[in-house]
Chains A and B, each alone.
Chain A
Amino acid sequence: MDAFKRFLTARDEPENLRRLREDAFAVFTGMGFPAVKSEDWKYTNVAPLMGLDWKVSEGQPKVPADVDWELLEVFDGGRNGFTALNVAFGEYATLRIAKDTVVDQPIEFNFAAADGTAQFPHLLVIAEAGSKATIVESYESTAKSFTNAAIQIVVEDNANLTHYRVQKESADAFHYGVTEVSVGRGGVYNSTNINLGSALSRHDIELKFRAEGGEAWVDGLYMLNGSQHSDTHSIIDHTVPNCTSHQNYKGVLNDSARAVFNGKVLVRENAHGTDAQQSNKNLLLSNDARVDTKPQLEIFNDDVKCAHGATVGQLEEEELFYLLTRGLPENLARNLLTYGFAEEIINKIGIDSIKSNLDAAVLNRLKVKLEIENI
């Protein structure tokens, strides 16, 4: 409470922004942090983060808030205690990709919170009609810290946005993030969400098609070791006809790591011609690792093409045998297959520097040193 007051007085901000923060803080005070008794948070207990005293991060220079109000107003700050807190402490920044422009270079946002601090980035991204761009949202705190992030994305008519989200925070960090996307007529949104870091992380995704002919990819990978816990909840909402969504999430869990995947695809009554594919495959490399996966299709229209599935398993025995017959020792073969499993998602990444960085991160998580370089 005091921290919030100090935060407010330290800033010289316009009245409307101040009021927004105060209202959001009141919402947070009313709700508190999500509790495991709520269905949506059943497997993810955030108690370890609540007991700690976080200083609001002052790592970044205090840039004046740059708020696209129209977009911020549709943000669901009351989704849970985290989102309310994010609005209250939000460091707002707006990115507008001008109509019909093609931005060749990826636009990167990197966030890192210092030891013992909390950061609350809130990005507002508008890809105007006919534009094309790639954004990279990267979280890389190197110390015990708390990130509570939000990004809102609008893909306007016939715009094409590629979105890479990389969460590789320190293994003792806490991370909450929400992604809200709306896709316009003929718009294309292609995202890859990589989760490697944090002791405890949760990512909520909500994507809505606003007009016909939209196409979206919401892919991701979580690769966890030790006692890491990662939770992804996504909702892909087909509210209008003739849109296509693909979701391919993969998980690799070692040691006593735990993951939650809850992916809901909603096809509303009038959303005929919907094509929705969803898959969640998990590789458990240890007996103590655990995943709770729940892909859900809710279809209220008959004229649709939908498929979904989830698997939880070990490495394929035939693949393993194949590698052994080429002379790879078993340990190496197992790790190579694990690498390949994860690479299927990493390979989607079209920016060499980010891809090779993630390749290295994946290799790092394996239990042997794999001498693989891409040439």
Chain B
Amino acid sequence: MLLEVKDLHAGIDGKEILKGLNLQVNKGEVHAIMGPNGSGKSTLSKVLAGHPSYQVISGEVLYEGKNLLELEPDERARDGVFMAFQYPVEVPGVSNSQFLRLAYNEKMKHLGTEELDPLEFNDYLKEKAKVVEMSSEFFKRSVNEGFSGGEKKRNEILQMAVLEPKLAILDETDSGLDIDALRIVAEGVNKLRSEDNAIILVTHYQRLLNFIVPDMVHVLAGGKIVKEGGKELALELEEKGYDWVKAATK
């Protein structure tokens, strides 16, 4: 098993948000997490990525059988955990390609493989940019600075393509994308999908799941997974709304 979350309780500023969450993800799988606003989806993503403002109260997270929670965020990343931010952060003055090359080379160092010089990396980056049909004009620009909402989301997937994570958590990557961009990003994610990695898709829209077909759908409400099922669950949710699951679990 790649990721195992066991009875996770976590929160921020003394407020408990995740209240006994369980989740199991195997290599080669895509899991969708859906749920109402404020139910804790981003909290889960950030706890998995290691955001320092969030506190784990109790429970366990195993990644490749190891305790993920004791690793620093950068160690998790180099070990293959990636989170695409719901709100990607702007980093002024640092170009996308400089940043990505540093990140890529840190990972290569960790894996004990060869690092790339700027020219080699530029070729590699061009190849990867095709995955999300991003023009090389974005390489030179400061990370996310002045990017439109949709461009930022695409840039997150470019980073995923470059870093080739084993576990990718995509927090509402589809929000804010126009119809064409949604298709491009979804196709990109499908290209990155493999037998060796797993993807957790946080989304509000069943539409995304037509493009990226999940193995499982989980409904997160009130800090817990309250319902699980196959891809048909997303359709059912779209039809009946969250009140239906909330009512069903009471």
Identify the A interface with B (CB < 8 A): 317-319, 321-330, 332-333, 336-337, 339-344, 347, 370-375
Residues of A near B142 (CB, < 8 A) are 340
B118–A343 touching, CB < 8 Å: no
Residues of B near A341 (CB, < 8 A) are 92-93
Residues of B near A322 (CB, < 8 A) are 85, 88-89, 91
Residues of B near A319 (CB, < 8 A) are 89-91
A324–B74 touching, CB < 8 Å: yes
B107–A327 touching, CB < 8 Å: yes
Q: A324-B72, A324-B73, A327-B107 are in contact. Are A332 and B102 (CB under 8 A)?
A: yes
A16 to B127 Cα, complex, angstroms: 69
Residues of A near B95 (CB, < 8 A) are 374
- Asked if B51 is at the interface of the complex by the 8 Å CB criterion, the answer is yes
Residues of B near A329 (CB, < 8 A) are 74, 106
Residues of A near B107 (CB, < 8 A) are 327
**Cβ < 8 Å to A, chain B residues 124-163:** 142, 159, 163
Identify the B interface with A (CB < 8 A): 49-53, 72-74, 76-78, 82-83, 85, 88-95, 97-103, 105-107, 110, 118-119, 122, 142, 159, 163
**16 CB < 8 A contacts A-B:** A318-B89, A321-B52, A322-B88, A324-B50, A326-B103, A326-B163, A327-B106, A332-B102, A332-B106, A336-B94, A340-B142, A344-B92, A370-B102, A371-B101, A371-B105, A375-B118
A373 to B122 Cα, complex, angstroms: 12
A321–B99 touching, CB < 8 Å: no
A371 to B118 Cα, complex, angstroms: 9
A322 to B76 Cα, complex, angstroms: 13
Q: How far is the CB of A346 from chain B (nearest CB, A)?
A: 8
A375 to B88 Cα, complex, angstroms: 25
Residues of A near B74 (CB, < 8 A) are 324-325, 327-330, 333
A336–B102 touching, CB < 8 Å: yes
Which of A327, A370, A375 lies at the interface centre, i.e. has the most chain B CB atoms within 10 A of its CB? Answer: A327
A325–B83 touching, CB < 8 Å: yes
A284 to B93 Cα, complex, angstroms: 17
Q: How far is the CB of A149 from chain B (nearest CB, A)?
A: 29
B89–A327 touching, CB < 8 Å: no
Residues of B near A326 (CB, < 8 A) are 77, 99-100, 103, 159, 163
A215 to B85 Cα, complex, angstroms: 40
Which of B74, B82, B99 lies at the interface centre, i.e. has the most chain A CB atoms within 10 A of its CB? Answer: B74
B89–A328 touching, CB < 8 Å: no
Q: How far is the CB of B56 from chain A (nearest CB, A)?
A: 16
Residues of A near B103 (CB, < 8 A) are 323, 326-328
Q: How far is the CB of A67 from chain B (nearest CB, A)?
A: 41
Residue of B nearest to A373 (CB): B118
B102–A328 touching, CB < 8 Å: yes
B93–A347 touching, CB < 8 Å: yes
Residue of B nearest to A346 (CB): B93
